[in-house]
Amino acid sequence: MNSGQAYSDRKFRIKGNARFLEALFVFVCSVFLFINYRYVSQNLNLPQKVVVELKTDSPIQLQVYYDTGDGYGEKDKRIRLVPANKAFQRVEIRLPSRFLRSFRIDPLTEPGVVYIKSITLKSWWTRSHSWPADQIVKQFGSLNDISQFELQGDAVKVRSVGIDPYFISTGPIPRINEISWKWGFLISVVFAMACLLVFRIFVWIKENWQAATNQHSPSALDMGLIGAGVAIPLFLAADFVRRNGVNIPLLDQWEFVPLLSAFFEGKPWIRFLIDFHNEHRIIVPRVIFLGLAVITQWNVVAEMYVNLFFLVILLVVLRKLLKDTGGHPILLVPVSWLLFSLQQWENLLWGWQIAISAMLTASVMTILCLSRVQRQRTYTLPALLLGAVASFSYIAGLCVWPVGFIQLLMMRARKSIGLTWLIGGALVFLFYFKGYHKPAETPGVFIFLKNPFDFVKYILAYLGSALSGDNLRQGIVYGAVVIVLFTSVVTVQRLRMKQWETMIPWVMVGLFSLLSGGMVGIGRVGYGIGQALSSRYTSLSLLFLIATLILSVGTMANLNGKWKNVVVIILLVTALILFSGYIHSSLSGAREGYYRKLTLGQFSRSLYHLEDPDDNELKMLYWDVRVLKYRAAVLRQLKLGPYAAETK
């Protein structure tokens, strides 16, 4: 056989192997699609919107709630600001593509009158269903604060006497957006082509990445592109805070007022500083709140930016950890997009959640310091101090002590370092729980033992919360996928990789996030499994996704053998599925942040009219209206918070 024929045969084998891998990739994608069919079939429909033709003499906030099978909730709503107009205007509000069981309309957020001529449900295609005024009166039921709901001419007159009027559909909702089999076939073909395109893009990136890693260092252009990829999500998060941050204390923030009052009035305040807040001993966040209150007259928007600053520090720490473990700098791009996900909108727009961001930053810094104690024992002291900071920022920070001890054992650290770590952790635990009394309103600590299956589902939903938006079933599925992936790559790393020790810190980051979720689940599963999807816990679960990402890439880069291509394809398809969930969740978070701004603006009106407030509005800001009125009066007297700009 001559050389030309040998080259031709080799080229044919390469092409044949590539075709096989492409077919395998599409097959695995199809399997994932089939497994996930129930979710896809509920959402893969034509986009739809509701169009309300109305007239109002003053600006209003129109809200539409929808029920797709789980009832109504604050997460199942859309809001649109409507300007005043004496003529009828058409207001369009985009709804999810899922089939609707019913929907309700909240036309006003205060006493007033609005006229509605028609309500139309329209799909992206030509189909629609309309309720003219006479049908609205017959097929919608008025509830709550509506005192008048009657036909006047060709419109329905809706009069509200409170802040929460609404009317709800009583008949079946037509499926005007149901997709036909022709569209389904077309989407399947497009999906297959997209899978092939993604696979070829991945192969191209892999080849260029290998070429880049063969160089001594990335070029200036490469570093510039990586820097841009890292910075974009940070700027998006900062802009999200800028657009939606409101200087209104909310819920737990009103618990800070006694400490604030004592500090500014020169009264004893240390006991307020070290006291418990529920089960948390948030000494470090309270110190930060006090410092910011002195500088900004307690503008809670400043706390939101400090919260974001802690996430930036956490990104820097993850970069150092990535460098220590030999990871390519390009991995910092997906890490940044995960870390600044808008699905954690509640933490970004609530300064009180500095407790979580400070705890996470200190915990990962602790893991970083412990990973270096073998080379330099002086890192032991900062690790102890950072562990204490994490513990006294948020209760989940206590998990850093068992995780740190496991890390030292796996690293085969000196016994003296391990003993020092145990003593430091014991002292922190003793001081932390000194004087602790369980709040009467919280669920029992051992309730998770009575419902272990619910507890497991809670943990899975928690792990998938950053990717599932508001869909509980999807959160559980994503959580199961991620934890199986994490366990698999850790097992492969431990059994097959020669440089296993270098990846131990990332295993600890994932373990810390998992234990934090377990601690949260023990205290919160009594509130229901759906509580695991709360945006405030997303920041905790994001660390698990980041650790899984780094470990998975490390496994793909070092794995050898005949099954390597199959494993790489499975990991790639899994990443695509999870990426789609990330996009959905981030968009959901952006929407929720906008709604938070609108609702806070609505319910905070009574804070500026304490002489004659609406208790229903105040109750949305704090659960005890009487206490809220007193503390608001204290803030007004001290000219702090929302009253800082008021003049006598």
pLDDT range class, residue 481, cuts 50, 70, 90: confident
- Give the mean pLDDT of 433-443: 73
Amino acid letter, residue 103: F
In this model, does residue 367 exceed pLDDT 90? yes
pLDDT of residue 567: 67
SS (H, E, C) 567-597: HHHHHHHHHHHHHHHHHHHHHHHHHHHHHHH
pLDDT range class, residue 7, cuts 50, 70, 90: very low
In this model, does residue 269 exceed pLDDT 60? yes
Calculate the alpha carbon distances from 211 to 180, 207, 328, 332 in Å.
Answer: 46, 6, 12, 19
Amino acid letter, residue 359: M
More confident residue, 152 or 223: 152
Average pLDDT, the chain: 82
Q: Which of 219-223, 400-404, 638-642 is predicted with the least confidence, judged by mean pLDDT?
A: 219-223
Quote the distance between the C-alpha of residue 395 and its chain's center.
19
pLDDT of residue 195: 66
Calculate the alpha carbon distances from 20 to 15, 26, 27, 416 in Å.
Answer: 9, 10, 10, 55
Q: Which runs of consecutive H residues, i.e. helices, occur in 108-180?
A: 133-139
| Residues in Cβ contact with 323 at an 8 Å cutoff, skipping those fewer than 6 apart | none
In this model, does residue 242 exceed pLDDT 50? yes
More confident residue, 529 or 264: 264
pLDDT of residue 328: 78
Amino acid letter, residue 343: Q
pLDDT range class, residue 191, cuts 50, 70, 90: low
- Give the mean pLDDT of 437-450: 68
Calculate the alpha carbon distances from 549 to 290, 469, 486 in Å.
Answer: 37, 20, 9
Q: Give 445-475 pLDDT, tens digit per residue.
A: 667 677 788 888 888 888 888 887 777 887 8
pLDDT range class, residue 159, cuts 50, 70, 90: very high
Q: Give 383-400 pLDDT, tens digit per residue.
A: 999 999 999 999 999 999
Listed residue (583, 578, 622, 585) closest to 600, CA to CA: 622
In this model, does residue 560 exceed pLDDT 70? no
pLDDT cut 70: percent of the chain above it: 81
pLDDT range class, residue 10, cuts 50, 70, 90: very low
Question: Which residue carries 């998975």 as its tokens?
Answer: 552
Which residues are 130's β-sheet partners?
Answer: 120
- Give the mean pLDDT of 82-90: 89
> Within 10 Å of residue 221's Cβ, how many Cβ atoms?
8
DSSP state of 608: G
451 dihedral zone (left: phi>0; alpha: psi -120 to 50; beta): beta
CATH for 47-169 is 2.60.60
| Residues in Cβ contact with 483 at an 8 Å cutoff, skipping those fewer than 6 apart | 460, 463, 514
Beta carbons of 257 and 631 less than 8 angstroms apart: yes
Q: How far apart are CA 252 and CA 238, in angstroms?
A: 23
In this model, does residue 15 exceed pLDDT 50? no
More confident residue, 564 or 53: 53
Q: Give 274-304 pLDDT, tens digit per residue.
A: 888 888 888 999 999 999 999 999 999 999 9
**Per-position b or e across 31-43, b if 16+ CB within 10 A of its CB:** ebbeebeebeebe
Q: Taking the chain, what is the end-to-end CA distance rounded to the nearest angstrom?
A: 99
Listed residue (100, 45, 56) closest to 78, CA to CA: 100
Q: Which of 70-84, 182-196, 369-383, 485-499 is predicted with the least confidence, judged by mean pLDDT?
A: 182-196
pLDDT range class, residue 11, cuts 50, 70, 90: very low
- Residue ranges per domain, the chain? 3-42+182-198, 47-169, 226-599
- Give the mean pLDDT of 613-639: 86
Listed residue (575, 520, 524) closest to 545, CA to CA: 575
More confident residue, 237 or 485: 237
Q: Give 502-544 pLDDT, tens digit per residue.
A: 888 999 999 999 999 888 888 777 777 878 888 888 999 999 9
pTM reported for the whole predicted model: 0.81
pLDDT of residue 532: 83
Listed residue (180, 304, 201) closest to 244, CA to CA: 304
pLDDT range class, residue 202, cuts 50, 70, 90: low
In this model, does residue 332 exceed pLDDT 50? yes
Q: Which of 164-168, 204-208, 289-293, 417-421 is predicted with the least confidence, judged by mean pLDDT?
A: 204-208
pLDDT of residue 208: 60
In this model, does residue 201 exceed pLDDT 90? no
| Residues in Cβ contact with 236 at an 8 Å cutoff, skipping those fewer than 6 apart | 340, 342
Q: How far apart are CA 116 and CA 132, in angstroms?
A: 9
pLDDT of residue 536: 87
pLDDT of residue 219: 67
The tokens describing 639, both together, are 């000219």
- Give the mean pLDDT of 303-317: 94
Q: Give 47-84 pLDDT, tens digit per residue.
A: 788 999 999 988 888 889 988 877 787 677 888 888 88
Quote the distance between the C-alpha of residue 367 and its chain's center.
23
DSSP-based three-state secondary structure for 67:
strand
pLDDT range class, residue 370, cuts 50, 70, 90: very high
pLDDT of residue 13: 42
Q: How far apart are CA 519 and CA 483, in angstroms?
A: 17
Rounding to the nearest 10 degrees, give the CA dihedral for residues 544, 548, 554, 560: 150
Q: How far apart are CA 379 and CA 247, in angstroms?
A: 40
| Residues in Cβ contact with 331 at an 8 Å cutoff, skipping those fewer than 6 apart | 322, 549, 550, 553
pLDDT of residue 555: 75
pLDDT of residue 117: 93
pLDDT of residue 583: 81
pLDDT of residue 558: 66
pLDDT cut 90: percent of the chain above it: 28
In this model, does residue 37 exceed pLDDT 60? no
Q: Which of 16-30, 459-473, 604-618, 624-638 is predicted with the least confidence, judged by mean pLDDT?
A: 16-30
pLDDT of residue 9: 46
Q: How far apart are CA 12 and CA 151, in angstroms?
A: 76
Q: How far apart are CA 396 and CA 361, in angstroms?
A: 12
pLDDT of residue 17: 58
The tokens describing 506, both together, are 């990332």
